[in-house]
Structure 1
Amino acid sequence: MRTIRLRHAADFAEWRDAARTLLLGGVAPHEVDWRQSEEGLFGEEAPPPPVAPSPRVPPSFLELARAVICHGDPARHELLYRMIARLQVEPHLLSDAMDRDVVAARRLEKAVRRDAHKMTAFVRFRETPAPEGARRRFVAWFEPEHHIVARTAPFFARRFADMDWMILTPRGSASLTGETLRTSEEPAPKPDLSDPTDALWLTYYRNIFNPARLKVKAMMAEMPKKYWANLPEAALIPELIAGAPARVAAMAEQILREAPAFHARLQARAPVEPELPSQGLAGLREQARNCTRCPLHCQATQTVFGEGPDQAKLMIVGEQPGDQEDLQGRPFVGPAGQVFDDAMRAAGLDRSAAYVTNAVKHFKYELRGKRRIHQSPDAGEVEHCRWWLNQEIQLIQPRLVVAMGRTAVAALTGQTPKLADLRGRVHALDPGRAMIATVHPSYLLRLPDAAARGRETARFHEDLAAARDWLSAAG
């Protein structure tokens, strides 16, 4: 039996060097007694390792081992050494989610990561006196379950780089002085901490507490009681929970009161949904000329509305106008429009018989010199324009809608799935109406590789041909 005495509780490099020497020496996992001690690395003199290649393990094991080594379980060193020995003959060991050693290691890893997360969430610094002209100084006390101080210290160094601080725990300490980060495994005594700003923090916490959204079980899961002793706001929690029902009732009582006078003026300034014009599509197009539902109208030259027959079986929906569309006031007349026209002809579809429009009616761009560079509309802008698109659909009553690009799919369905998951199939949009999703023609123009552009263009033609076949079958 070999006794290995490790000087540090959570030093991955120390354990790795010992495990490598043992493995190269042919020492089986059951022949090693791992212990933590200050008496040196090995309990007895280790023979020089034999001339052999270093053991190989996947990078995922190293990441796993760095976390597991921080756990407080005394058997963690034995577990990791057993796994590294098995990996030499079972290279795919980590992919076996049901293996006993893998399950045990993942459990320890999860506990360490959770403990580190709780440390980043529940450390509370208190300011201490600092010499005049020096950086502000802060001290915190925390009680982790595992040896995570050194693992978590870099987070605090990045987050609080503008001050000097020290975090003390029963499992070691970490400190930042200037740009120097230091850690130690020496247990630290609990300091007597007080901060005059605690009262201000409690006042803030009491006022941001929302009793109407109180979920005690969820709160206890995120903030277990074992952390309460070092959280100043924890003293308020029982009182706030007990008083929540009464506060909710008081909030409901306030709802019945008459709103202040200025609320009416604010409501009057809010955008009002325009009414559907009685003149049909022509009236809707005229109404859209003055659309100010979102800020995009401020920079665009004009509204680019859809065009086509009032009663079309096929509707084409793109993303938004481009530079040429914005200047001419018509959809799909620029470079992407030429690709679209070619594809329509190749599929045997007549553009003049289809209604062609966009999900967003104004051109969104970034000015670079004299060029206007296209920018994708965000979710809010798409949502604002959905009203116009929905009215177009209600008036046109198409049998089939071809959505070109993710923005068009989002405007039609209110969802943002991956385009690849929808492409190549017909989807029900409304009762009696279907949708086919494909790429936007501008995507084809952006492909740098000619071969890839050719393949994707052929697929685009196939998607439009599928729309033609569906319309033919539907009659």
Structure 2
Amino acid sequence: MPDITVTLAHEADFTGWRSATRSLAGRHTPPADIAWRIATHPESAALPAPDPAAARFTVPRAVMELAAIMVQSALPDRFALAYALVYDHLTGVPADEDAVARMAEAKDDVLAQTRHLRDEIREALSRHDGTPLYQGRVDTLGLVPESNARFLTLQRSFAPWQLDMPDRTLRWTGHEMLHEAPGQTPRPLDPTSLPPPALPMVPDLDIARITSLRAVALAAKTCLICPMAAHATQTVFGEGRETARMMFVGEQPGDIEDRAGRPFVGPAGQLFDRALHEAGIGRDDTYVTNTVKHFKFRRTPTRRIHEKAGPAEIAACAPWLAAERRIIRPAVVVMLGVTAASALLGRAVTISRERSRIIPLEDGSDGLVTVHPSYLLRLPDEAARAREYDRFVNDLRLAAGCLGPVVT
């Protein structure tokens, strides 16, 4: 008989399972000593108390990804299998062959269900008549719909939706997630407790359908399209007013921005803020972003050295920048540096030839090319920096002059 009973909050409580696993595996508790149960009510969940004596440990990402897939499978002992997977890796115990075969079959099934669900969602949304509530039906007993709830929520820009399944209903009201079984009262379901989907979200998302800047930003945080995403600390999305009439586009985040998760907060960003102030532009009234959303660098023994973004990185990030422009609809777009200018104008650009003039863009906005603030920091002498800084401020004033009166 198992010595320990872990009671999880719901059928897909990956967060609760991970917390219990961290404590129990840290004490080298064998899988056979644990019974995994599901609470009849979320408030009756019972996890083992944190044990200060439990050893801290790490497991490869692939192990945790497979554990998350197990949690969203239809296997009745999925939590026990997921725990055994971690325990066997931690202790070096050879995995049971039957368990390995069952996990491989479950993984294939979850991947297939994920692809099928997303295909159905995309097809259904393309036919959706635009009514406030999207309602669909999927025939599955596994927990794949729960793990893809965030996918559907972002694809719908946080608008309400409902998925009906043979044994339950999953609903997003626009403010909270609700889970309902037949004959039961709907109960809230914390989206952060659910296992991550078995497939990356971004390649399957129709980014052009997303109409909320917040939804686009959250979706971009999971982007793994280009190799930079695997090395950078995080996605650095744009920030500012969704109704901003002026947008500034740079090249990519730097080392400080990569760590902070915000654009233009390093030395170049501080110079940029000063220039905005002198030009009479409030940064809070603008939207500031980059062509590329991850920091590209080469590592030295003491620091990370910026490397210029290439065509592959620019192309990978193009849907995010296009979504920002489409949702914000700025009247003026200021291109800071050659990378931003080339990406937005769709051609090779020489700053000296394009700078300080208004360029009509294809979406009806006005564009202006100028230098990137980091260029000013690299100038060799004080006189050159002062001269070029004044010219940069004048470029910003020229861009602000294109705004004209606000139309209400």
Q: TM-score normalized by structure 1?
A: 0.42
Q: TM-score normalized by structure 2?
A: 0.49
Greater Rg by CA: 1
